Structure 1
Amino acid sequence: MIAVDVQGRAGNFASSVAFESAGDVTAVFGPSGCGKTTLIRMICGLHTPERGQIRVGDTLLYDQRAGLNVPAHKRRLGVVFQEPRLFPHLGVTANLRYGQWAGGRSSPLSFDDVVDLLGLGALLQRRTAFLSGGERQRVAIGRALLAGPRLLVMDEPLASLDAARKAEILPYLVALKAEIGIPMLYVSHSLSEIEQLATDMVVMTDGRVVTSGALDEVLNRLDVPGFSEGPEAGSRVKGRLIAHDEDTATGRIAFEGQQVVVPLPRPRSLGPVLLHIQAKDVIIALEPPRGLSIRNQLSGKIAALHQPAGPYVEVLVQVGAQQVRARITQLAARDLQLDVGQSVYVLIKSVALEPALG
């Protein structure tokens, strides 16, 4: 559990943030300049709020009324920044051992546990100057874990990496979520990262929280200014990969009693998967269409409609126990005469989908 209710300033920037989360991985999302880094600095003890309270688990880290402000080095937080900030004069092993020393060897994870979890075995004898960006970030995460943190704080850890290095490190972050048993606070402006990692989400803008809660609930909100109408807005849905056709390089995913076809150029294990479906890639039809190249046609009912300022209408369609978002024009919504409770078909191009580990 992390509970934050603070107000403060960083220069001319005012911040007033309040949220609670008991999730395994709480994502803090928002555009650049919205106050994410200021919030992290307050939680980590690097910037003092003017008033309020910060609690992690059963431990108060800051309470203005009680005159309590635990120093940064005593807060037992493992912090990974956008830049790895490794010690350049030390090798990989020494950087990792520093984490153990700094944490008083209090980590429930052993040195070998962390090395295995993050795939660092082949790097232990290397100097940090000869590591790739993704390798350096993995070492930084390992060092933070070996300090025995009560909370792992990750501030845009993939922002400085190119697409290939992000793809390299994301599976390790997914493994951390599943195996370490340490709550994480993950700061990012990338929805695709958040959807693969987070269980809960906090959305910020202009130094304040505009919504927070369970990840899927927040993603399906249609009325959050600056978020719901964003270019990455969409749905995260859960399915199960049940077949792979090597001849057509496609996979079939079971989803709420129906099936979805996705590109799958390389074989992978059958089992749970996540799909991010961008709202702009979804078409709404009143009848099952024929003669189209679109492979995915899901039946459902409209659960909500929202028309923000501008030319679009946001549509939330209930498909079984899950929901899929669509973004269509006002003109299309008017011509189709859409209404809540109406039965519709959701059409999704296969090429718009890429399954991630579930």
Structure 2
Amino acid sequence: MIHASFKGRIGGFVLDAEFEALGHGVTALFGPSGCGKTTVLRCMAGLTRLPDGQLTVGAKTWQAGRKFTPIHRRAVGYVFQEASLFAHLSVRDNLCYGLKRAKGPLRVGEEEVVSLLGIAPLFERPTATLSGGERQRVAIGRALLSQPELLLMDEPLSALDRLSREEILPYLERLHARLEMPVILVSHDMTEVERLADRLVLMERGRVRAEGPLAPMLADPDLPLIHRPDLASVLEGEVVAVDDAYGLSQIAVPGGVIVVPGRLGPAGARRRMRIPAADVSLGRNPPSDTTILNALPATILSAEPEPNGSPLITVRLKLGRETGGALLLARISRKSWDSLGFAPGEPIVARLKATSLSHPSTSMETAPDWQEDDDVRD
């Protein structure tokens, strides 16, 4: 595990943040601009030093009391919002620079990084000719080849247009699936968090409001995340069958099997799904004469009215009839809830449109970029 605690004042901004991150996988720092996410990342890297700070990465202590390991002695890879490549070097030479900065044993090889990020066709090109997505892939590759014990990513997609972000996300998903390296991801884009994070640290005004595994955090009725307009559930499961004739896959999740568009095999592969709450309807019986492919038994856990006089209500569900089912969210009208007389604890059927399910894309292309300004403390 990674334990971080930083307290202090930077100008007029006060930071008082303490949290734990996974020793592998992706931990996301999420919150609005100016809440202190980037400041925390800079403290973890050693770029910003607060007198009251602690940081342990596995068995190593990088900061505690008077002990402070400077940045050049920390095995940290840092990916900034801008790729910041060396313009006078080719792509290959930028990657080699990462290898030269390696501070420890070989954790990831050059061939593996090049393969995961699809960089080989770019080797001899000058960095000035790269698109935004290509530049960021090279920057990530350079950071990985420095053999970090901890990879820090500060809004790595914020300088890209939407198309470029969608095209680079599959590369990040491949890294997430293949590498054991712990990653701290700073983001204020929940779509990125839903696709990449295993653990979520929610920040507000320099403090940590809550932290925990991603799916329960998204469905926590005591957190503001549950009232987001684009609310969605994140489910992870295993491919159990592929229907080649119709281009569909069956993914087993705790409490049921979900049919998803696309050939997402092979069998046994792990896949993550995002299910918009607005695309989940509820009933007491499986539907008939309908195009809906997924009708799963579920149990109502609670119902949360949306604020400000909204006509909608958010329903928290547990898939299946047994304990341990995956959490699922549905957003329906209060009128429907009252008309059907639903109540917490009641067994119902959750209906999901297969076309509303999103899953990791297999696209490996890139596209142009644009610039987005952000708060320095973000």
- What is the match of residue 269 of structure 1? 265
**Unmatched tracts of structure 1, length 5 or more:** none
Which residues in structure 2 correspond to 1:1-358 (within 5 Å)? 1-24=1-24, 25-63=26-64, 66-104=65-103, 106-225=105-224, 227-239=225-237, 240=239, 242-244=241-243, 246=245, 250-255=248-253, 258-264=256-262, 267-271=263-267, 272-307=270-305, 309-310=307-308, 311=310, 312-320=312-320, 321-356=325-360
Q: Which amino acid aligns with 2:354?
A: S
Contact 1:222-1:314 at 8 Å conserved across structures: no
Residues 56 and 122 (structure 1), Cα distance of their counterparts in 2 relative to 1, 3 Å cut: same
Residues 322 and 357 (structure 1), Cα distance of their counterparts in 2 relative to 1, 3 Å cut: farther
Residues 291 and 179 (structure 1), Cα distance of their counterparts in 2 relative to 1, 3 Å cut: closer
Residues 136 and 59 (structure 1), Cα distance of their counterparts in 2 relative to 1, 3 Å cut: same
Q: Which amino acid aligns with 2:6?
A: V
- What is the match of residue 374 of structure 2? none
Higher mean alpha-carbon deviation, 321-330 vs 85-94, is at 321-330
Q: 1:210-266 CA distances to partner (integer Å, 9 max, x unpaired)?
A: 2111222222212203x22112322111342623355x65555455575544444xx
Residues 33 and 176 (structure 1), Cα distance of their counterparts in 2 relative to 1, 3 Å cut: same
Q: 1:311-337 CA distances to partner (integer Å, 9 max, x unpaired)?
A: 243211111321211123334333333
Quote the Cα distance in structure 2 between the aligned partners of 1:285 and 1:278.
17
State TM-score, norm by structure 1.
0.88
Quote the Cα distance in structure 2 between the aligned partners of 1:252 and 1:28.
32
Shift of 1:275: 1.4
Q: What SS class does the counterpart of residue 228 from structure 1 fall into?
A: helix
Shift of 1:140: 0.7
Q: What SS class does the counterpart of residue 140 from structure 2 fall into?
A: helix
Q: 1:33-75 CA distances to partner (integer Å, 9 max, x unpaired)?
A: 2221111111112222242312222222222xx2222222222
Q: Which amino acid aligns with 1:324?
A: L
Higher mean alpha-carbon deviation, 107-116 vs 313-322, is at 107-116
Quote the Cα distance in structure 2 between the aligned partners of 1:288 and 1:113.
47
Higher mean alpha-carbon deviation, 21-30 vs 287-296, is at 287-296
Query: In the comparison of the two structures, how many residue pairs are matched?
Result: 352
Quote the Cα distance in structure 2 between the aligned partners of 1:260 and 1:156.
32
Shift of 1:144: 0.8
- What is the match of residue 368 of structure 2? none
Q: Which amino acid aligns with 1:42?
A: C
Residues 111 and 305 (structure 1), Cα distance of their counterparts in 2 relative to 1, 3 Å cut: same
State TM-score, norm by structure 2.
0.84
Contact 2:23-2:58 at 8 Å conserved across structures: no
Quote the Cα distance in structure 2 between the aligned partners of 1:216 and 1:268.
22
Identify which of structures 1 and 2 has the higher relative contact order when contacts are C-alpha pairs closer than 8 Å and 6+ apart. 2
Quote the Cα distance in structure 1 between the aligned partners of 2:327 and 2:86.
46
Contact 1:192-1:276 at 8 Å conserved across structures: no
Higher mean alpha-carbon deviation, 92-101 vs 334-343, is at 334-343
Residues 21 and 120 (structure 1), Cα distance of their counterparts in 2 relative to 1, 3 Å cut: same
